[in-house]
Amino acid sequence: MTGTAGASILARLGARRDRVLLPAWCYLLIALAVGTAYTFKGLYPTLASRLSFATTISANPTLQALTGPTYDLTTIGGLTAWRIGGLGGALLGVMNILVVVRHSRAEEEAGRLELVGAGAVGRYAPLTASLLLATGTDLIIGVVIGAGLALVGPPVGDSFVLGMALAVVGAAYAGIAAIAAQLTETSRGANGIALAVLGATFLLRAIGDSAGPGVRWLSWLSPIGWGQRIRPFAGDEWWVFALPVGCAALACWAAFALAGRRDLGAGLLPGRPGPATAAPGLRSTLALAIRLQRGVLLGWLVAFVVVGGVFGAVAQDMVNIVATSPQLGRIIAQLGGATGLGNAFLAAVSGLLGLLSSVYTVQAVLRLRGEETAQRAEPVLATGVSRTSFAAAHITVAAVGGALLLVASGVVTGVAYGLRSGDVGGAVGSVLGGAAVQVPAAWVLAGVAVALFGLRPVLTGVAWAAVVVCFLIGELGPSLRLPRWAMDISPFTHVPRLPGGTLTGAPIGWLLGVAVVLVAAGLAGFRRRDIG
């Protein structure tokens, strides 16, 4: 029996388990790429309009830090490659990290790999299967993106180059995740290490693309930067493909080498022993939930503060860009209201941050399912802790944490925008209001996750599909001119558009009511079903 015996069977099993999550990721990334091309085709139909847009973008280093270098913005394909090269590479990196860790370290941590390994399964089969699943998904996404872009209008060859550029960036982060899975004993630790590498490489690319020629070499230290420097629709530098492919191959080789040098269930980095006795503050279920989730919440908080500061700093520049296109102005008005381009853009930013906060709330709620499947919930519930208090503690952390993220990002965005506009106090108040009204919509998606956890725990992955649907409706709905009934599916469509709009209590009240009903249904179901 070889070391990879049974890998193909485990890969098929992983695809079966992720039959909701992986299609959701595929749909998100493909729709983002193809929808972006379709949107640009409507916004800038002529060469003159694209030249005007390119002139504005090329002179703004902050925007290049967000999206990447501008090679050729005179074509729809070039605009699409510029817009999704950095964001698409980062999202694919996140997907690959989560998939590889979920099917390697997380399975090992839960004890399932020990049972699987007792059969005719090789030592390296689980790691091989996770990499096959991740890179196979990358390949599917890349091919479909290429075909979809070609249908929109850009040249077929360059469309597939862009799709494959994104795919190999994802594969590079799959290899990095495979290494991280060998280092720690927990899936949270592995995800944390790999996502930290992703964040650091994104930051290196941002600095290299915006800080001037002297530090441009920093972009060559990032897989995301490599994907952009393949230059789809701007010359196609084929040799750059060797960098992410080589990184993926080297990282996978290192991961297999490390996997052979550790015990099953152990990590190469020693685990930190906890204190002999618990602190007095850990006597409640809420304190335990906070302790378990504080690291994740802190990471999200840092990300929201950074993103809020960046959006606030570029808000005035984006207003100037929007002014160059009447079509883009109409879309921003649909997203953020029609009272001034500045207010409309800030309202659109608040909507985006609201969508991102829902990702955190769903993740925090589904920690309940993770505690249950890892068999850590049962010992807690065997004491005097009720099921309702156990679940309510994690739900409270999710709800309060989501609100905290939006408030913090609203304050930082307002300060950054106020410093540029000369009215810090007014900007903070208006932007903070726009961020705060997004909270009930984020709580609705958290309620969906609670309801699924309590009533049909095997379908908790549908909560992520709901987040993806809301994201696509919010980001692509106006440009694709979806019918009103389709837009109304997303709870964020019903949020008052602030700043600049009118604050009305009825939609907020309805959203809060829906969230409460969903949470109540989930708690009732959890009280009546079997654990596990």
pLDDT of res. 59: 63
pLDDT of res. 478: 67
CA distances from 134 to 60, 131, 244 (A): 35, 5, 15
Question: What's the token pair of residue 400?
Answer: 């309060």
Question: What's the token pair of residue 135?
Answer: 């890179």
What's the distance, CA 209 to chain centroid?
A: 22
pLDDT of res. 51: 81
Question: Which amino acid is residue 60, in one-letter code?
Answer: N
Q: Judge contact between 470 and 490, C-beta under 8 A.
A: yes
- What kind and span of H or E run contains 175? helix 156-183
Give the confidence band of 407 by pLDDT, cuts at 50, 70, 90.
very high
Q: Which residues of 448-475 are buried (b: 16+ CB within 10 A; e: fewer)?
A: bbbbbbbbebeebbbbbbbbbbbbbbbb
Which whole number is the average pLDDT over 180-192?
Answer: 88
- Least confident among 28-32, 110-114, 444-448, 452-456: 110-114
Distance CA 181, CA 263 (A): 13
Give the phi and the psi of residue 386 in degrees, each rounded to 5.
-85, 160
What is the dihedral sign for C-alpha 500, 503, 506, 510? positive
Length of the chain: 532
pLDDT of res. 377: 86
Distance CA 136, CA 145 (A): 14
List pLDDT tens digits, range 102-149: 999 988 887 888 888 778 888 889 999 999 999 999 999 999 999 999
pLDDT tops 90 at residue 213? no
Question: Which amino acid is residue 105, in one-letter code?
Answer: R
- Least confident among 78-82, 173-177, 327-331, 483-487: 327-331
Give the confidence band of 242 by pLDDT, cuts at 50, 70, 90.
very high
pTM, 2 dp = 0.81
List pLDDT tens digits, range 378-387: 888 888 889 9
